[in-house]
RNA sequence: GGCGCGGUAGCUCAGUUGGUUAGAGCGAUCGACUCAUAAUCGAUAGGUCGGGAGUUCAAGUCUCCCCCACGCCA
């Protein structure tokens, strides 16, 4: 038994995520966590909402609510949806938690102590009307170069010329529209990441088994141009973690907060503290401090490719810079994007399916199965309704669901709602055991390596073995001349249902639970000995015929959904 | 413009360090079966592996050039 720490990239508090976000981090992380638990390992699976920053403030203002209240509500919304998708977090925390406040301030203090923080005085645009400093992207005006009237503070989208906010003609805040802007001097803290470049490069270089996607992005940021740059870790905002040097005030930093990308990954650690403080666990340090038991922990992070630089460089720089025994990530599993029907998912255009909408259409298992079996591991992947319909109908309803249906109903009709006895196993069963053993070993290999698509394909092949067995041995024919042999064959089929429930649980937990309930068993031991596993439900063991596990998606539904989620095109 | 991931059967995708007739699932066609959710099982057809040049006894797999899509950066 090993100890596994698993984190999923933490979703931003603002709004509900779409299926591409889901399959890029939380869902595969959940798959891995569930699998490792099934194998008997000790798992701590953490996630949280990322709550700070300007977008949260603006979203709250738009909703007419104080930002703290808005975040609390949206956290509950996201937690409920996560629950709806059966994401089995041990704790779903909040980056705004008191624990993260204290920890983030402690990290900053320690980094300052190590000489890795420097103060930088810079000029920024301040909107008097809005009462806040404006990030470049919240400033628009007319481009002095081409006359485009919606040039942003950092760049003109029309002529692509790089701009300084002060270059803009008639510059105004995109928040209020106000033109009452001033340039003010402000002071910020920078993390001297450049000092850590060598250590980070060595560390990345040592990760030979990481996905190419992960290391190539990291190396690009390390080496491009002038190399890894120092990074501002503070902002002039109200909503965030107040800048402090540990527990002490930080002279000159009054009224400022840490930058969201500084405190967000620290929430991975703080989330474990929340987990303990809420009574769900004990001893978070045994997961996060290598001097307090975490040296035997394997830590795996899941994220979309856009998050890779922060997890391969920024956060490790924070950790390494302290020279304290914090647990560093061992493996980063990153994902490409899921496209929606030939284009991108788009929140603003209402294009694509969002997590809450998905659950209104179909139970989570349908989405989990399709998304995981098409996870964008090697390149961007494509969601189409046609594919979703044919795949889920075939895999879930026909191959798995119908298998359960045919064997349970046949047994009820020819024998009873109990496992029949029959003769001992023969050649066909010995061969089935060999085939199952081989395929399950392959499945385990893919799951251990987090090869999500291949694991899904292997699992499907294992389901098919059951149908092949029934087809080849035809108990419905055998029954006419040799009911005892037919009884044994049915016994095999019923035991396969239990085995399938266990193997499939990480992908389709609800269907798995239904299968186990139908077989009236709580024995979920992983099938390491296939002969024993095929005898786990003994003759005489009662079961019941379940409702159909999966229904089919009709052509009408597919057409309706495709229309409904197409969004407004340009 | 620079960089990155890709471009393999109608569709979605696999193809380890270059090595026998390029694979899977779906879809299509044919057949078997009739226990089951008009389900299942089997067989067959389908590819000049984006284009071109090169290295090699041998290239989807390495090198160079070009084209296309997506993404990141400037």
pLDDT tens-digit series, residues A485-534: 999 999 999 999 999 999 999 999 999 999 999 999 999 999 999 999 99
Length A353 CA → B41 C1' (Å): 36
pLDDT tens-digit series, residues A246-296: 999 999 999 899 998 899 999 999 999 999 999 999 999 999 999 999 999
> Chain-wide mean pLDDT for chain A?
90
Give the pLDDT of residue A403.
97
pLDDT band at A155 (very low <50, low <70, confident <90, very high): low
Question: Which residues 549 to 568 of A reach strand B, CB within 7 A?
Answer: 549-552
Q: ipTM of this predicted complex? A: 0.91
Q: How far is residue A71's CA from residue A94's CA, in Å, rounded to a whole number?
A: 9
Q: How far is residue A395's CA from residue A406's CA, in Å, rounded to a whole number?
A: 15
Query: What are the beta bridge partners of residue A231?
Result: A191
Contact A195, A116 (CB under 8 A): yes
Length A7 CA → B73 C1' (Å): 28
- Nucleic strand B under 7 Å from the C-beta of A157: no
Structure tokens at A522: 């709580």
Length A159 CA → B64 C1' (Å): 34
Query: Taking residues A116-138, what's their average pLDDT?
Result: 84
Length A552 CA → B49 C1' (Å): 35
Residue A230 has pLDDT above 90, yes or no: no
Give the pLDDT of residue A225.
61
Nearest nt to the A397 alpha carbon by C1': B37
Contact A264, A258 (CB under 8 A): no
Which residue, among A437, A563, A558, has the nearest Cα to A503 in the 3D structure?
A: A437
Give the pLDDT of residue A570.
36
* DSSP letter string, A493-532: HHHHHHHHHHHHTTT-HHHHHHHHHHTT-------SSHHH
Structure tokens at A466: 């059951």
Look up the protein residue whose alpha carbon has the minimum distance to the C1' of B11: A387
- CA dist list (Å): A397 to A359, A362, A392, A393, A498: 18, 13, 7, 5, 17
Which residue, among A563, A483, A561, A491, has the nearest Cα to A533 in the 3D structure?
A: A491
Q: How far is residue A367's CA from residue A507's CA, in Å, rounded to a whole number?
A: 10
Instruction: Identify the residue whose tokens are 């990481």.
Output: A210
CB environment A373-406: b (16+ within 10 A), e (fewer) = bbbbbeeebebebeebbebbbebbbebbbbbbbe
Query: Taking residues A75-93, what's their average pLDDT?
Result: 97
pLDDT tens-digit series, residues A335-372: 888 888 777 787 767 778 889 999 999 999 999 999 99
**Angle in degrees, 0-180, between the axes of helices A212-223 and A197-205, rounded to the nearest 10:** 160
| pTM, two decimal places | 0.94
Nucleotides of B under 7 A from a protein CB: 3-7, 11-15, 24-27, 32-37, 39-42, 70-74
Question: Which residues 83 to 142 of A reach strand B, CB within 7 A?
Answer: none
Q: How far is residue A262's CA from residue A476's CA, in Å, rounded to a whole number?
A: 65
Question: Which residues 432 to 471 of A reach strand B, CB within 7 A?
Answer: 453-454, 457, 460, 464, 467-468, 470-471
Question: Which residues 395 to 424 of A reach strand B, CB within 7 A?
Answer: 395, 397-402, 404-407, 409-410, 413
User: Within 13 Å and on the Cβ side, how many CA atoms surround A120?
Assistant: 17
Contact A22, A354 (CB under 8 A): no
């Amino acid at each position: 038994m090993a100890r596994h720490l698993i984190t999923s990239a933490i979703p931003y508090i603002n709004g509900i995520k779409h299926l591409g976000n889901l399959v890029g981090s939380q869902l595969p992380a959940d798959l891995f966590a569930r699998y490792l638990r099934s194998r008997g390992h000790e798992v701590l699976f953490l996630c949280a909402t990322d709550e700070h920053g300007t977008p949260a403030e603006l979203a709250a203002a738009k909703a007419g609510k104080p930002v703290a209240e808005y975040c609390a509500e949206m956290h509950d919304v996201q937690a409920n949806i996560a629950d709806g998708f059966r994401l089995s977090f041990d704790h779903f925390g909040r980056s705004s938690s008191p624990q993260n406040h204290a920890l983030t301030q402690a990290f900053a203090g320690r980094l300052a102590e190590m000489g890795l923080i420097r103060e930088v005085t810079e000029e920024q645009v301040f909107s008097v009307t809005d009462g806040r400093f404006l990030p470049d992207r919240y400033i628009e005006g007319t481009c002095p170069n081409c006359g485009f009237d919606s040039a942003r503070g950092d760049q003109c989208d029309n002529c692509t010329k790089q701009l300084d906010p002060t270059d803009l003609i008639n510059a105004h805040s995109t928040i209020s529209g106000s033109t009452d802007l001033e340039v003010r001097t402000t002071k910020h803290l920078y993390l001297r990441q450049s000092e850590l470049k060598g250590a980070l490069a060595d560390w990345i270089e040592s990760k030979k088994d990481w996905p190419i996607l992960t290391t190539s992005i990291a190396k690009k940021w390390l080496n491009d141009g002038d190399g890894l740059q120092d990074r501002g870790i503070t902002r002039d905002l109200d909503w965030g973690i107040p800048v402090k040097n540990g527990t002490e005030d930080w002279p000159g930093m009054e009224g400022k907060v840490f930058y969201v990308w500084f405190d967000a990954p620290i929430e991975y650690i703080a989330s474990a503290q929340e987990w303990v403080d809420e009574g769900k666990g004990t001893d978070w340090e045994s997961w996060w401090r290598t001097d307090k038991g975490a040296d035997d922990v394997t830590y795996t992070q899941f994220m979309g490719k856009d998050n890779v630089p922060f997890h391969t460089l920024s956060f490790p720089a924070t950790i390494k810079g302290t020279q304290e025994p914090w647990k560093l990530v061992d493996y980063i599993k990153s994902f490409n994007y899921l496209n929606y029907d030939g284009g991108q998912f788009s929140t603003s255009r209402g294009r694509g399916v969002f997590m809450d909408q998905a659950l209104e259409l179909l139970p989570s298992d349908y989405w989990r199965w399709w998304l995981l079996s098409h996870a964008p591991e090697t390149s961007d992947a494509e969601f189409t309704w046609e594919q979703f319909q044919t795949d889920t109908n075939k895999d879930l309803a026909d191959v798995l669901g119908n298998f359960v249906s045919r064997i349970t109903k046949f047994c009820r009709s020819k024998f009873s709602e109990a496992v029949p006895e029959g003769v001992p196993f023969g050649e066909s069963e010995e061969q089935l055991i060999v085939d199952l053993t081989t395929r399950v070993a392959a499945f385990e290999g893919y799951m251990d390596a987090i090869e999500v698509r291949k694991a899904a394909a292997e699992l499907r092949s294992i389901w098919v073995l059951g149908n092949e067995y029934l087809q080849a041995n035809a108990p419905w024919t055998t029954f006419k001349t040799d009911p005892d042999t037919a009884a044994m064959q049915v016994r095999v089929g019923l035991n396969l249902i239990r085995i399938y429930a266990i193997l499939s649980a990480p992908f389709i937990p609800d269907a798995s639970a239904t299968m186990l309930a139908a077989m009236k068993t709580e024995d979920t031991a992983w099938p390491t000995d296939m002969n024993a596993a095929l005898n786990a439900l003994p003759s005489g063991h009662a079961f019941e015929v379940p409702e159909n596990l999966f229904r089919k998606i009709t052509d009408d539904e597919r057409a309706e959904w495709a229309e409904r989620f197409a969004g407004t095109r340009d």
